[in-house]
Chains A and B, each alone.
Chain A
C-alpha cells in the first residue's frame, strides 16, 4: 500500500528526490511541509525550485526519491495525488478562446466536480477575484494579471488541499499581486496548504510561515525567518545579526554555494 492510511500531518513529504538533466537539477532533496502551512521555497536562479515543483505536480518524472502529497504517493498513484492539489505556473496557461466562466467549467469537468457545486464555486471565485464583469469575455485580450487570476480561479474551483505555485507574482501589478496574496492567505486560514517559489524575498518574508532555501538542488536551510537568521549566524557566521532581513540572510546562506558554482 503506497498511500498513508491516517490523515497525514504533512501536506507534502519528499525523500531523497533526484532529477538530473545535463547536471543534477535536484540532488537528494528532503522536504516536509505541514498541512495548513504557507511554505515558500527560495533560491538563486537554476537552484532547482521549478523542477522540484514540477515533479511534485506530476509534470516531470524524478530519477529517484519519493513524494507524498496529502498522504498520496505522487509516483505510484498520481491521479489520487492530483485530485487534492492544484498547480499554477509563472506563465498562466489558459485558453485564449474560452471565457473565464467556460475555463472554470472545463477545469471543474477535469476534476469531476458536480456541476451545481462547480457553478456556485465559480460564481464565488469570479466575484472574489473581480473577474465577474469579464466572466463572459474571451481571455485573448486579458492582461497578465487577469490571466493569472483566471488561472488561480481554475486552481481553486476544485477546492484543492494543496496549492503549488511557481513564481505566481511575476509580472503582476501591485493591485493584482495583493489580490493573489490575499487569496492565498485566505486559503491557508481555511486550512489549505500553499507551497510556492518566489524570487521576491519580501513576499516570502511577509507571507510564509516557513521558508526553505534551496541551492544546487539541495535544501540548505529551512525554518521561520528567525530560524534562518540563527542558521546564518551559526553556520556561516557572516554579518547576519538579529535584525537582518531575509535578503541578508539569504545572501549569507547561499554565499558558499555561489562561490562553489
Chain B
C-alpha cells in the first residue's frame, strides 16, 4: 500500500527508510557483509548488559513503593530524562541547521509542516530508542525477578522520550526567538551540554561537599533528602509509580507526555520551515571579523601549524561545546580536590584515574581534529616540510591543549600531594599520547564539521581509545597508591594499543 505523496505518512516512510539505512550504515560501517558480525556484537552486548543489570538491580526487584524506592527511581529517571532533553535539543538544532535535503524539500510545493511534524516525532522516537537499549536489560531483569509490574518502566521511558522532545523543541525555538538564528546553534549546544551534565554533576558535587564521596547515590540515599521528600501519595512520584507498575499513574504520565509532544508538534511544525530558512541564511549574512593584524608575527612552519590548530579550535562553537561537555565532568574532581586540600585524605586517590581518563578522552577528540579533521590537507601536504614534521607539530598542538586544560589541576594537586601530581601528570601525558597514536593509526581525512560523527567512522578506534584511557587511568590509580601491581593494567593498556595497531588500516594497507 503506497501513501499519497506529500502526506505525513508518505514523509514518515521516507524518513524511516533514510533512518534505517543510516542505522545500517552505522552498524556495518558501510559494509553490508559486516551485518552478521554487528548482530553478534549486539547480542554479546545485550547479554553482558543483562549480567551487569542483574548484579546492579537484581536485589531491588521486589522493592515496595516506599519513599526510599520512589526517591531512587525518580532521581535515576530525572538523570536519564535530562540526558534525553540534551540529546533531543541537539537533534532539533541539527534539524534547523543541517541543510542536507532541506533545500530540496523547502523548494518543493509540498506542505512542509507535515514533514516537520514527522521530523519532530522522529526526534522523540530517536530519544526513546537511544534510552531503551540501555534501560531494557535493567527492566528485563526486574520483570523476571519481580514480576510483570515492572513492564510499566517501558511505558515510562516512552513518556520520558515524548516529554523530553517536547521540552527540547520548545527550548530550542525559544532560543531561536530570543538570541536569533545566528547564535542559537552555539547557545543551544552549550545549553544542551549543561542540561545533560548539570544534574549528575550537581549530585556529585553535593555528595562531595556533604559526604566526601563522588558517588551521586549518596545524596539520593541520604537522610536529608528522605526527610525533605514529599509523602508517598504526592503527584511528584507518579513517574516512579508508573515504573513500579501502577496502571493509573502509568496512563496519566504517558497520556500527559504524549499530549505535550502533540502540542509541541502542532505549535512548532507549521513554523519550522521559517526557522530552517532563517538558519540557512546565517552562513551568508553573518560576517565574523577578527582583530586586524598590523604585521605578520615571526613564525616557523611548526609554530604556524600549532597556532593554526589552536586558532581553529577556539573559533569553532560546535567543537567548543563538545569540549565543554567533557570539561564539565572535571568539575566534581576539582571540588573533591578543593575539599580535601591539605587533609592528606585518601580521597585524592580517586582524582588520579578521573583526570587521566578525562585527558585520554579529550586527547582523542583533539587528535582527531588535528590529524583527520584537516580542512586543507592538500595545502599542508604540498608545503615544503617533511610529513613527520607536520605530524609532530600537530601532536604538539594536541598536547599543548591538554596541558592548558589540566595544568591548573595538576598544580593544585601538587600542593596537596606531589606524588599524586607526578603520577597524574605522567598518566595524562601517556593517555593523551596513546589516544593520539590511535587516531593516527586510524586516520581518515574528513571535514572538521564531521567531528560529532567521528565515532561512527571507526568503532574500533573508538573502543580502542576508550579502553586505552581506562587502562591508563587504572594504571595511574594503582601507581598513585605506590603499588607495584600497576604494571598489570599498564600491560593491558599496552595490549590494547598493540591490538589497535595490528587492526589499524594503516598497517593492513601497508
Q: Are A97 and B316 neighbours in the complex by a CB distance under 8 Å?
A: yes
Q: In the bound complex, how far is the Cα of B291 from the Cα of A210, in angstroms?
A: 45
Please tell me which one of the listed residues A81, A97, A108, A136 contacts residue B312 in the complex, with CB atoms under 8 A apart.
Answer: A97
Tell me if A95 is interfacial: C-beta within 8 Å of chain B: yes
Q: In the bound complex, how far is the Cα of B289 from the Cα of A140, in angstroms?
A: 11
Q: In the bound complex, how far is the Cα of B383 from the Cα of A108, in angstroms?
A: 10
Min CB distance A244 to B, Å, is 36
Q: Are A59 and B288 neighbours in the complex by a CB distance under 8 Å?
A: no
Q: In the bound complex, how far is the Cα of B167 from the Cα of A17, in angstroms?
A: 62
Tell me if B109 is interfacial: C-beta within 8 Å of chain A: no
Tell me if A83 is interfacial: C-beta within 8 Å of chain B: yes
Q: Are A99 and B299 neighbours in the complex by a CB distance under 8 Å?
A: no
Q: In the bound complex, how far is the Cα of B85 from the Cα of A67, in angstroms?
A: 58
Contact of A82 with B375 at beta-carbon distance under 8 Å, contacts A137-B289, A141-B284 already known: no
Q: Are B378 and A110 neighbours in the complex by a CB distance under 8 Å?
A: no
* A contact residues around B283 at 8 Å (CB): 140-141
Q: Which residues from 277 to 326 on chain B have a C-beta closer than 8 Å to any C-beta of chain A? A: 283-293, 295-301, 303-305, 307-308, 311-312, 315-316
Tell me if A183 is interfacial: C-beta within 8 Å of chain B: no
* B contact residues around A116 at 8 Å (CB): 295-296
Q: Which residues from 94 to 148 on chain A have a C-beta closer than 8 Å to any C-beta of chain B? A: 94-99, 101-102, 105-112, 115-116, 118-119, 122, 135-138, 140-141
Q: Are A119 and B290 neighbours in the complex by a CB distance under 8 Å?
A: no
Contact of A122 with B375 at beta-carbon distance under 8 Å, contacts A79-B386, A86-B382, A87-B382 already known: no
* B contact residues around A154 at 8 Å (CB): 379
Min CB distance A122 to B, Å, is 7
* B contact residues around A89 at 8 Å (CB): 378
Q: In the bound complex, how far is the Cα of B18 from the Cα of A86, in angstroms?
A: 42
Q: In the bound complex, how far is the Cα of B380 from the Cα of A135, in angstroms?
A: 21
* B contact residues around A94 at 8 Å (CB): 375-376, 379
Min CB distance A119 to B, Å, is 4
Q: In the bound complex, how far is the Cα of B385 from the Cα of A99, in angstroms?
A: 23
Q: Count chain A CB atoms within 10 A of each CB in B290, B291, B303 and give the residue with the most.
A: B290
Q: With contacts defined as CB atoms under 8 Å apart, how many contacts are there between chain A and chain B in the complex?
A: 119
Q: In the bound complex, how far is the Cα of B464 from the Cα of A37, in angstroms?
A: 52
Q: Are B285 and A141 neighbours in the complex by a CB distance under 8 Å?
A: yes
Min CB distance A163 to B, Å, is 11
Q: Are A102 and B304 neighbours in the complex by a CB distance under 8 Å?
A: no
Tell me if A80 is interfacial: C-beta within 8 Å of chain B: yes
Min CB distance A225 to B, Å, is 31
Q: Are B382 and A106 neighbours in the complex by a CB distance under 8 Å?
A: no
Interface residues on B, range: 35 or more
Q: Are B312 and A111 neighbours in the complex by a CB distance under 8 Å?
A: no
Q: Are B296 and A110 neighbours in the complex by a CB distance under 8 Å?
A: no
Q: Are B286 and A93 neighbours in the complex by a CB distance under 8 Å?
A: no
Q: In the bound complex, how far is the Cα of B290 from the Cα of A141, in angstroms?
A: 14
Q: Count chain A CB atoms within 10 A of each CB in B284, B293, B379 and give the residue with the most.
A: B379
Q: Are A110 and B289 neighbours in the complex by a CB distance under 8 Å?
A: no
Q: Are A57 and B290 neighbours in the complex by a CB distance under 8 Å?
A: no
Min CB distance A58 to B, Å, is 6
Tell me if B484 is interfacial: C-beta within 8 Å of chain A: no
Q: Are B312 and A110 neighbours in the complex by a CB distance under 8 Å?
A: no
Q: Chain A: which residue is nearest B293 at the CB level? A: A101
Q: Are A112 and B300 neighbours in the complex by a CB distance under 8 Å?
A: yes
* A contact residues around B379 at 8 Å (CB): 87, 93-94, 107, 110, 154
Q: Chain A: which residue is nearest B389 at the CB level? A: A79
Q: Are B385 and A58 neighbours in the complex by a CB distance under 8 Å?
A: no
* A contact residues around B316 at 8 Å (CB): 97
* B contact residues around A83 at 8 Å (CB): 384
Contact of A98 with B312 at beta-carbon distance under 8 Å, contacts A82-B383, A110-B380, A138-B288 already known: yes
Q: In the bound complex, how far is the Cα of B312 from the Cα of A106, in angstroms?
A: 12
Min CB distance A146 to B, Å, is 12
Tell me if B133 is interfacial: C-beta within 8 Å of chain A: no
Q: In the bound complex, how far is the Cα of B384 from the Cα of A99, in angstroms?
A: 23
* B contact residues around A105 at 8 Å (CB): 293, 296-297, 299, 304
Please tell me which one of the listed residues A58, A98, A102 contacts residue B382 in the complex, with CB atoms under 8 A apart.
Answer: A58
Please tell me which one of the listed residues B284, B296, B307 contacts residue A119 in the complex, with CB atoms under 8 A apart.
Answer: B296
Q: Chain A: which residue is nearest B312 at the CB level? A: A97
Contact of A57 with B301 at beta-carbon distance under 8 Å, contacts A94-B376, A119-B295 already known: no
Q: Chain A: which residue is nearest B290 at the CB level? A: A99
* B contact residues around A57 at 8 Å (CB): 378, 381-382
Min CB distance B297 to A, Å, is 6
Contact of A111 with B383 at beta-carbon distance under 8 Å, contacts A95-B312, A141-B284 already known: yes
Min CB distance B2 to A, Å, is 38
Please tell me which one of the listed residues A79, A87, A93, A118 contacts residue B385 in the complex, with CB atoms under 8 A apart.
Answer: A79
Min CB distance B446 to A, Å, is 13
Please tell me which one of the listed residues B293, B305, B375 contacts residue A110 in the complex, with CB atoms under 8 A apart.
Answer: B305
* B contact residues around A78 at 8 Å (CB): 384
Q: Which residues from 58 to 82 on chain A have a C-beta closer than 8 Å to any C-beta of chain B? A: 58-59, 78-82
Q: Chain A: which residue is nearest B299 at the CB level? A: A109
Q: Which residues from 373 to 406 on chain B have a C-beta closer than 8 Å to any C-beta of chain A? A: 375-386
Q: Are A138 and B315 neighbours in the complex by a CB distance under 8 Å?
A: yes
Q: Are A80 and B287 neighbours in the complex by a CB distance under 8 Å?
A: no
Q: In the bound complex, how far is the Cα of B295 from the Cα of A119, in angstroms?
A: 6
Q: Are B299 and A115 neighbours in the complex by a CB distance under 8 Å?
A: yes
Q: Are B308 and A98 neighbours in the complex by a CB distance under 8 Å?
A: yes
CB pairs A–B below 8 angstroms (24 shown): A57-B381, A57-B382, A80-B384, A93-B376, A97-B316, A98-B308, A101-B290, A101-B293, A106-B304, A106-B307, A109-B299, A109-B301, A109-B303, A109-B304, A110-B305, A110-B384, A111-B383, A112-B384, A115-B295, A115-B297, A135-B292, A138-B287, A140-B288, A141-B284
Closest 10 CB pairs of A and B: A109-B304, A83-B384, A110-B383, A93-B376, A82-B384, A97-B315, A115-B296, A109-B299, A119-B296, A138-B288
Residues of B that sit less than 8 Å from A by CB: 283-293, 295-301, 303-305, 307-308, 311-312, 315-316, 375-386
7 further A-B contacts with Cβ under 8 Å, apart from A111-B384, A154-B379, are A80-B384, A97-B315, A98-B308, A105-B304, A106-B308, A109-B307, A110-B301
